[in-house]
C-alpha cells in the first residue's frame, strides 16, 4: 500500500482543545505498525484465577451478577479488593483547604477520598476475552455498566463515574482474566471539565454539538445502526478509535438493550481489527460521558463516546511537560488501514 508523503502538522482537537503534533517522519508506514509486546503470546487455556467461576470466595464482596442469583453466571460486578477510594460514602462531600491554620497560605483543596471502585468480570472463563464474546454478550457487559451507574447515581456526593478497561500488563491490567473497572468520584475530573468547557464554546459559536458535527469519510472506520467508529481528527495516539452514538446523547447510562447489543457488535469489530492489524496490542478503553448531574443547557452540547487507545508508544517528557502529544500516524491513514482489515464476527 502506498502512502503519500506528508509534512508535519499541528491539529487542535475540537472536543478536548488539545494540540497534537503529527510527525510521520518519525515512523514507518502506518500499515507496518505492530505491537512489540502482544498481550498474551502463550495463553494457557486451563489457567484459573480468583475471577474464574468456582473461585468466587477468593474475591471481594459481590454487588450483583447476571443472571441474578445464578451459580452459572456470565458477568459478576464485585468490589475491588484493593480500592483506590473508601466506600464509606457520606451524603455530601465538603471541600476543605489543605492547610486551615490561620495566617498560612493554603496549599490547595482537599476532599475526603470516598467513592466506589468496582470490578466487572466480563466472563466466567479465564481464556475468554471481551472480543471473543458475541455482540449480545458484550451488550450485557455494557448493560452491567449502566445498571451499576444507575445504582451509584443515588448517592448525592458522587459526581462522576469513569468506566475503563485495561487490557494487558503494559496497559495497566494486574489480572489477565478479562475484566473492566468503574471508579465513582466525589469530584468531576479536570479532563472531563475541560472537554465540556471546550464543547460549550463550540456550541455557543456554532449552535451545534462538536461530536454530532464530526464528519468526513476519510476518518470513518465503520458504522452500525446506532453508532459509528472513527479515527479522531486530532488523535493523541496512533490508531486511536472513538465509537460515537449517531444520535445526540449526553449520558452513557441512558443506553437501552437494543443499542447496547448494537454497540457490542461495533466494539467487538474494532477490537478484532486492532488485534489483527497491530499484533494483539495492549490497550485501554474509556467511556467518556457527562457528569451525573448536569443542567439542562449542558445537555445540548455534551455527548458521550468510547475512546480506545492501543499502547504502541510511550509518553515522554514532552507530552508530560506540555500536555501536547506527538502522533506519528495521521488519523486518515490509520482509518484507511483499519477499514481494509477484514474481520468476520
Catalytic machinery residues: 179
DSSP helix/strand/coil, 213: coil
CA gap 227, 244 in Å, rounded: 5
Task: Return the closest-CA partner of residue 77 out of 136, 131, 149.
Answer: 149
- DSSP E strand stretches across 186-280: 220-223, 227-230, 241-245
220-223 sheet: strands from edge to edge? 62-66, 75-79, 116-121, 179-185, 160-167, 283-288, 305-310, 241-245, 227-230, 220-223
Cell of 31: 500499515
Q: Which residues of 11-33 are buried (b: 16+ CB within 10 A; e: fewer)?
A: bebbbbbbebbbbbeebeebbeb
- Return the DSSP state at 114: B
Cell of 253: 447510562
Q: What are phi and psi of 266, to 5 degrees?
A: -75, -40
DSSP 17-72: --EEEE-GGGS--GGG---SS-S-SS--TT---TTSTT-GGGSSPEEEEESTT-SS
Residues 6+ apart with CB under 8 A from 207: none
Amino acid at each position: 500500500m502506498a502512502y503519500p508523503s506528508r509534512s508535519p502538522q499541528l491539529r487542535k482537537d475540537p472536543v478536548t482543545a488539545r494540540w497534537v503534533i503529527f510527525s510521520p517522519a518519525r515512523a514507518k508506514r502506518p500499515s507496518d505498525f505492530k505491537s512489540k509486546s502482544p498481550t498474551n503470546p502463550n495463553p494457557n487455556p486451563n489457567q484459573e484465577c480468583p475471577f474464574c467461576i468456582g473461585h468466587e470466595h477468593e474475591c471481594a464482596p459481590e454487588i450483583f451478577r447476571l443472571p441474578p442469583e445464578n451459580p452459572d453466571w456470565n458477568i459478576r460486578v464485585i468490589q475491588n479488593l484493593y480500592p483506590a477510594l473508601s466506600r464509606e460514602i457520606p451524603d455530601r462531600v465538603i471541600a476543605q483547604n489543605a492547610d486551615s491554620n490561620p495566617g498560612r497560605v493554603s496549599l490547595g483543596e482537599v476532599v475526603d477520598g470516598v467513592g466506589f471502585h468496582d470490578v466487572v468480570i466480563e466472563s466466567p472463563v479465564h481464556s475468554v476475552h471481551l472480543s471473543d464474546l458475541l455482540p449480545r454478550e458484550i451488550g450485557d457487559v455494557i448493560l452491567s455498566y449502566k445498571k451499576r451507574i444507575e445504582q451509584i447515581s443515588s448517592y448525592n456526593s458522587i459526581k462522576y463515574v469513569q468506566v475503563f478497561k485495561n487490557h494487558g500488563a503494559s496497559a495497566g491490567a494486574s489480572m489477565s482474566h478479562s475484566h473492566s473497572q468503574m471508579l465513582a468520584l466525589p469530584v468531576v475530573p479536570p479532563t472531563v471539565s475541560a472537554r465540556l468547557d471546550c464543547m460549550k464554546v463550540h456550541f455557543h459559536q456554532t449552535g451545534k454539538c462538536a461530536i454530532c458535527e464530526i464528519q468526513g469519510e476519510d476518518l470513518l472506520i465503520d458504522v452500525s445502526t446506532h453508532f459509528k467508529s472513527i479515527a479522531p481528527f486530532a488523535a493523541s495516539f496512533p490508531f486511536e478509535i472513538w465509537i460515537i452514538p449517531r444520535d445526540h446523547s449526553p449520558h452513557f447510562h441512558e443506553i437501552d438493550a437494543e443499542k447496547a447489543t448494537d454497540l457490542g457488535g461495533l466494539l467487538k469489530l474494532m477490537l478484532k481489527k486492532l488485534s489483527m492489524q497491530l499484533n494483539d496490542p495492549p490497550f485501554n478503553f474509556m467511556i467518556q460521558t457527562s457528569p451525573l448531574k448536569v443542567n439542562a443547557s449542558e445537555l445540548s452540547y455534551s455527548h458521550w463516546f468510547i475512546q480506545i487507545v492501543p499502547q504502541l508508544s510511550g509518553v515522554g517528557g514532552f507530552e508530560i511537560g506540555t500536555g501536547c502529544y506527538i502522533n506519528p500516524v495521521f488519523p486518515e491513514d490509520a482509518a484507511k488501514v483499519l477499514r481494509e482489515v477484514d474481520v468476520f464476527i
